Amino acid sequence: MDSVELILASAVRLAVPLAFAALGEWIAERAGTLNISVEGMMLGGAFTAVAGAGLTGSASAGLLFGVAAGLLVAFVHACFSHRLSVNTYVVGLTLNVLVLGLTSFLLLKTESRQVDKLTIPLLSDIPVIGPALFDQRWPAYLLAALVPAAWWLVRRSRWGLEARAAGENPQSADVTGIDVNKRRRQALMLCGALAGLGGAYLAVAEVGTFNQNMTAGRGYMVIAAVIFGGWTLRGTLAGVLVFGAADAMRLALPALGYTLNPQFLVASPYILALIAMTFFATTRRGPAALGRPFVRGIT
Amino acid sequence: MSMPPSTEHARSAGTAAPAAAVPSVELRRITKRFGSVVACDDVSLSVRPGEIHGLLGQNGAGKSTLMKILTGLVVPDSGEIMMAGRHVEVNDPQTATALGIAMVHQHFSLVGRMRVWENAVLGELGRVDRDHARRVVNEVGERYGLAVNPDAYVDDLSTGERQRVELIKCLRRRPGLLILDEPTSVLTLAESRELFSVLRRVTTDENTTVILISHKLDEILHATDRVTIMRGGAVVARRDTAGTDARDLARAMVGREPATWTAASAVGSMDALVQGGRAATEGDVRLRLTDVRATARDGRPLLSGLSLHVRAGEILGIAGVEGNGQAALGDLLSSLLDLDGGTVEVGGSAVPTGEPGAMHRAGVGVVPEDRHASGCVLDMSVAENLVLTDLDQVSGSVLVSPRKLRERAARLIEEFDIAVPSPDTPMRLLSGGNQQKVVLARELAARPTVLVAAQPTRGLDVGATEYMTERIHQAARDGIAVLLISTELEEILTLAHRVAVIHRGAIVGEMTRADVDLERLGLMMGGRAA
């Protein structure tokens, strides 16, 4: 029973940074950008958050630096892929390599700084789910507001309607009078802010320092989560939790005395994503214009 | 030297339209070039308030470009737009909407995976109010007889229903000017009539001005008050509908006396086609489809138990409203679609489906519906495009022989009268008609026993249409079994020996050309058994 509680708590803890980024990725994909650079956004966010925390002496302020770094990466990506119509995958990969190189080059030694834990009294004592849901670093609770906000923005707001139209059928959206590329840029900026926050959370909430390539493919895991979730918010979050759980198992199983091939466990989130895609490939479709640049006037 | 409005009015005096002093919309001396092509050449158009104004012309005459200018999708090089006597600048679709201009596009501007009400409010400003939007869809639907479920997904609607959504989307904004671009190309006869009665109601009840773009004479004569005829990017004639007839319009539109049935097909006059059926020949069955079934990736049925057969020397026309399985049928015979059940037999032996090249090897030639998507490679040369499906002719197992390639290209270019400066010219630089000739030449050069022609004259001018029509006829005379898939009933009536009607992925009825009864055909196309 104890170990279940432990693994669940660890799963949620590991899923939190993914969840921030996945919210952003979900928004960006619904607007039609398959945003590869979410990895770079997270890594940049993590690095800048630690640097910012060192600079200001406050781990919480570091989070804002992380958001800013995510926004910067998103801005560059948005300009290239939705102003100059450069292939979004090429832009994304370039940015990822660039951020990885830059953060490795600038790698700095700082003392460990972490944001505070916020343990909610009583609720955190609930067996099994208590520690998982109510004993986390404080920024994790932002998700409680961000998730419904993101859902409302995409599913209910005027902006979301137009962004989804931009992702489904940009030609139609254009004819209807929607600035397709502007909506896509805006969605990408939202993704940058959220992914930056996710990366920052990883650095200043979970780990406390920055290590070279510390996101280690978490951005790609986020992309897999959106696909796993069939481009629904619920599914995406479920995907994030599943991947978090797989990660937690990797850490927990050896400690609990099970011997399992660690390489296999590292790969398990991706194997899960592949299996999920096999099952959903025929039934779930992403936004129809996902990943395709929109250029006006081509009919 | 702009066309003075007073002359316009003097010429058309005597119509029932109210004698308004100021035209609702006026385009003055509009010119637009795309590269070296002049899409609109000094075009002036004047439309009165509350009239239905026809804009008639062949494909490529510049009608659509002119209307895109009016809706802010295309910015003209020169010229002026006046609305109710005042100069306006329409530089983007938002401005057009603000000016009360709404357009129903030929290819609908709907987002398939959104609900009807979501589509209805798309492009507006302000908060999204679902209940209000639903109510509006129902109200507008009721007022004009355009019933549609506001919560349905557009993807699940028939093309006729989609057009209703498109109309509701326009009408709910109470536009002063409503433009419809080839609105009947996706409708059955009955649906077209319904549409025209809605348009009439809109003009008389609310004094909305309507511009109806069409290349079909029948509907221009039936539905409009006045008509402006365009050819080659310029206005060539203006008429009061009451004072003209199909022959007069056809002459103005084509620029010469049109040949009998070929041109009748191109200009959409069915009167000329109702008589005169040719008897089918009694050849062997070359193509037989038995109870074929297929589903789309997302589970929607594409073909549901379709059966047909085509004999050597016969042209079987597949009539139907667009989106009823024609595309799937074409894909099936191009080996692009795998079946859930049923068989395809060519020349008596079964052919595996969905296996690349199998149909072609079995002797099926296909002129596909969308020549740009699957008919040719636009960035390759004409010579290369001419051998794409038949590489054995010009290559060994490894090397392509440039000499053979050129020789073959030269021969086909001559035989099929393709206007092209050199075999090395990129396909992209050819006109639509010549591109289609390349596709047809390639398919016929492979000596097929079955020829599938899907929308073979879509987007072609009259000359190219006549050529394609004649070639397809020739193919049948040469003993090829021809399957003609077309949503243009005129084209079917022109060419086919036998007509089968496709509806929801199955053949719902069949008649020989001599027995064709338009009323019955129309009912079948609408899915009502007759």
pLDDT given at position A297: 61
Chain-centre distance for alpha carbon A261: 27
pLDDT single digits (tens) B287-325: 999 999 999 877 788 999 999 999 998 999 999 888 889
Largest Cα–Cα separation, chain B: 75
**Are B114 and A177 an interchain contact pair (Cβ–Cβ within 8 Å)?**
no
Contact B110 A177 (CB under 8 A): no
Query: What are the pLDDT digits (tens) for A248-290?
Result: 887 777 777 777 776 777 777 778 778 877 877 666 778 888 9
Of the ranges A253-267, B69-83, B283-297, B328-342, which one carries the lowest mean pLDDT score?
A253-267
The single-letter code of the amino acid at B291 is D
Rounded mean pLDDT, B152-166: 86
Q: Helix or strand or coil: residue A51?
A: helix
Which residues of B fall within a CB distance of 8 Å from A282?
297-299
Query: From the list A162, A164, A176, which residue is nearest B109 (CB)?
Result: A176
- Confidence bin at B9 (pLDDT 50/70/90): very low
Residue B92 located in a structural domain: yes
**Subunit contact B111:A172, Cβ cutoff 8 A:** yes
Say if the Cβ atoms of B298 and A288 lie within 8 Å. no
Contact B128 A156 (CB under 8 A): yes
Mean pLDDT of A119-143: 82
Pairing relation of β-strands B364-367 and B450-454?
parallel
Domain assignment present for B262: no
- Measured from the Cβ of residue B43, the count of other Cβ atoms closer than 10 Å reads 25
Q: Is the pLDDT of residue B3 over 50?
A: no
Residue B323's CB: how many other CB atoms inside 10 A?
A: 15
Q: What angle do CA B364, B367, B369 make, to 5 degrees?
A: 125
A47 pLDDT more than 60: yes
Shared-domain flag, residues B234 and B283: no
* Bridge partner list, B450: B364, B481
Q: Side chain identity at B505, as an amino acid letter?
A: G
Helix ranges (H only) for A123-157 are 130-134, 142-155
Q: Calculate what percentage of chain A has a pLDDT beyond 90.
A: 51
The pLDDT assigned to A70 comes to 97
Spatial contact of B518 and B189, defined as CB atoms under 8 Å apart: yes
Q: Which residues of A touch B297 (CB under 8 A)?
A: 282, 285
Which of A14-18, B2-6, B122-126, B205-209 is predicted least confidently? B2-6
pLDDT grade for A190, boundaries at 50, 70 and 90: very high
Instruction: Specify the higher pLDDT residue, B72 or A253.
Output: B72
List the single best residue of B67, B118, B122 to mutate versus A (max A Cβ within 10 A).
B122
B179/B290 same-domain check:
no
The CA distance from B345 to B352, in Å, is: 9
Mean pLDDT in residue range B455-481: 86
Residue of A nearest to B96 (CA): A177
B366: left (phi over 0), alpha (psi -120 to 50) or beta: beta
Residues of A in contact with B109 (CB under 8 A): 171-172, 175-176
A156/B114 Cβ within 8 A: no
CB-based contact A162 B122, cutoff 8 Å: yes
Residues of B whose CB is below 8 A from A171: 109
pLDDT at position B4: 43
Q: Confidence class of residue B281 from pLDDT cuts 50, 70 and 90?
A: low
Question: What pLDDT score does B14 carry?
Answer: 40
User: For residue B496, is it within any domain?
Assistant: yes
Contact A161 B93 (CB under 8 A): no
Q: Is B109 within 8 Å of A171 when comparing Cβ atoms?
A: yes
* The amino acid at B380: M
Give phi and psi for B310, each to the nearest 5: -130, 135
Q: What phi and psi values does residue B137 have, to the nearest 5 degrees?
A: -60, -45
- Identify residue A168 by its one-letter amino acid code: E
Which residue in B170, B498, B441 sits closest to B317, CA to CA? Answer: B498
Same domain, B14 and B124: no
Within 13 Å and on the Cβ side, how many CA atoms surround A247?
22
Question: What pLDDT, on the 0 to 100 scale, is given for residue B466?
Answer: 82
In whole numbers, what is the pLDDT of chain A averaged over residues?
88
pLDDT value at position A196?
Answer: 97
Is it true that domain A3-108+144-283 has CATH number 1.10.3470? yes
Cα–Cα nearest to A160, from B109, B137, B113, B128: B128
Residue B265 lies in a domain: no
CB-based contact B432:B460 (threshold 8 Å): yes
CA distance B58 to B464: 12
Half-sphere exposure of A276 (CA within 13 A, CB side): 24
Q: How many domains in chain B?
A: 4
- Check whether A121 has a pLDDT greater than 50: yes
Q: Which of B97, B105, B122 sits opposite A165 (nearest CB)?
A: B122
Q: What tokens does A90 get?
A: 């090429």
pLDDT at A113: 79
Who among A161, A169, A299 is closest to B112 (CB)? Answer: A169
Q: Are residues B46 and B156 part of one domain?
A: no
Helix and strand tally (H, E) in chain B? 19, 20
Apex B344 CA angle, B343 and B348, nearest 5: 110
pLDDT band for position B257 (50/70/90)?
low
B105:A175 CB<8 A: yes
Q: Decide if B121 and A178 are in contact by the 8 Å CB cutoff.
A: no
Residue B27: name the closest of B73, B74, B88 by CA: B88
Which two three-digit tokens encode residue B107? 């290819």
Percent of chain B with pLDDT over 90: 37
Stated pTM of the model: 0.80
Is this prediction's ipTM beyond 0.95? no
Sheet of B234-240, strand order = B101-104, B177-181, B209-214, B52-56, B226-231, B234-240
Q: Which residues of A touch B92 (CB under 8 A)?
A: 177
Q: At what angle do helices B159-171 and B189-206 cross, to 10 degrees?
A: 10
Amino acid at site B135: R
Per mean pLDDT, which range of B17-21, B307-311, B365-369, B503-507 is the poorest?
B17-21
Radius of gyration of chain A (CA): 19
Chains A & B: contacts with CB separation below 8 Å: 63
Residue type, B9: H
Residues of B with CB under 8 A from a CB of A: 73-74, 92-94, 96-97, 105, 107-114, 118, 121-128, 297-299
* B269 assigned to some structural domain: no
d(CA B173, CA B169): 7
Task: Select from B249, B303, B236, B371 the least CA-distant residue to B508.
Answer: B303
Query: Of the spans A56-60, B57-61, B259-263, which averages the highest pLDDT?
Result: A56-60
| Res. B399: pLDDT tops 50 | yes
- The CB density around residue A147, as the number of other CB atoms within 10 Å, is 18
Residues of A in contact with B111 (CB under 8 A): 164-165, 168-169, 172-173
User: pLDDT at residue B277 above 80?
Assistant: no
Say yes or no for a CB contact (<8 Å) between B111 and A173: yes
Q: Are B483 and B310 in contact (CB under 8 A)?
A: yes
**Nearest-5° angle of CA B412, CA B415, CA B417?**
100
Of B73, B121, B126, which is closest to A175 when you measure between CB atoms?
B73
What is the rounded distance in angstroms from the CA atom of residue B62 to the CA atom of residue B91? 19
- Is residue B469 a part of any domain in this protein? no
The shortest CB-CB distance from B110 to any of A156, A157, A172 is to A172
pLDDT of residue A40: 96
Range of the domain at B33: 5-100+175-257
Instruction: State residue A270 phi and psi, 5-degree precision.
Output: -75, -35
Residue A247 has pLDDT above 60, yes or no: yes
Same domain, B33 and B165: no
- The pLDDT of residue B21 is 62
Chain A hits for B107, CB-CB cut-off 8 Å, are: 299
Mean pLDDT in residue range B205-227? 90
The full 3-state SS of A199-224, as one line of letters, equals HHHHHHHHHCCCCCCCCCCHHHHHHH
Cα distance between residue B381 and residue B388, in whole Å: 11
**Chain A closest-CA separation from residue B297 CA (Å):** 6
Which residues of chain A make contact with B165, given a CB cutoff of 8 A? none
Q: Which residue has the tokens 């671009």?
A: B181
**pLDDT level of residue B8 (50, 70, 90 thresholds):** very low
Contact (CB<8Å) B93/A158: no
Interatomic CA distance for residues B461 and B357, integer angstroms: 31
Q: How far is CA B513 from CA A254, B265, B276, B494, in A?
A: 79, 15, 8, 9
Structure confidence at residue B6 as a pLDDT band (50, 70, 90): very low
For chain A, give me the number of helices (H) and strands (E)?
12, 2
Within this chain, do residues B358 and B480 fall inside the same structural domain, yes or no? yes
Structure-block tokens of residue B137: 């869809």
Give the Cα separation of B208 and A75 in Å (integer). Answer: 45
Closest residue in A to B94 (Cα–Cα):
A177
Same domain, B236 and B91: yes
Residues 6+ apart with CB under 8 A from B281: B311, B312, B313, B314, B497
pLDDT at B15 over 70: no
The token pair that represents B488 in the structure block: 């243009």
- Predicted local distance difference test score (pLDDT) of residue B80: 92
| Domain CATH number, residue B32 | 3.40.50.300
User: Does residue B63 carry a pLDDT above 90?
Assistant: no
Q: What is the pLDDT of residue B420?
A: 85
Q: Which residue has the higher pLDDT, A217 or B11?
A: A217
User: Based on the domain organization, do B358 and B377 belong to the same domain?
Assistant: no
Unique residue bearing structure tokens 């490679």: B377
Residue of A nearest to B105 (CA): A175
Across the interface, whether the CB atoms of A168 and B111 are under 8 A apart is answered: yes
Over residues B492-496, the mean pLDDT reads 87
The length of chain B in residues reads: 530
Residue A109, number of CB atoms within 10 A of its CB: 7
Domain extents in chain A: 3-108+144-283
Q: CB A178 to CB B123 under 8 A?
A: yes
Q: Do B297 and A161 touch (CB under 8 A)?
A: no
Distance from CA of A86 to the nearest CA of B (A): 20
User: How far does CA A7 lie from the centroid of its chain?
Assistant: 21
- Alpha carbons B519 and B521: distance in angstroms, whole number: 5
Q: Mutating which of A172, A282, A283, A290 best tests the B interface, going by the most B Cβ atoms within 10 A? A: A172
Q: Is the pLDDT of residue B264 over 70?
A: no
- Alpha-carbon distance B69 to nearest alpha carbon in chain A (angstroms): 12
Q: How far apart are CA B196 and CA B271, in angstroms?
A: 19
Verify that B251 and B392 share a domain, yes or no: no
Query: Which residues 6+ apart lie within 8 Å of B148 measured at CB?
Result: B116, B137, B141, B157, B161, B164, B165, B168
pLDDT of B424 > 70? The answer is yes
Note whether B522 and B480 are same-domain residues.
Answer: yes
Q: Is residue B341 part of a domain?
A: yes
**CB atoms inside a 10 Å sphere around CB A35:** 35
Q: State what percent of residues in chain B have pLDDT above 70.
A: 90
Cβ contact, residue pair B113, A288, below 8 Å: yes
Q: Which residues pair with B240 in a beta bridge?
A: B226
Q: Which residues pair with B509 in a beta bridge?
A: B501
In the block, which residue shows the tokens 């009259």? B462
Distance, C-alpha B76 to centroid of its chain: 25
CB < 8 Å to B118, chain A: 161
Does A294 have pLDDT greater than 50? yes
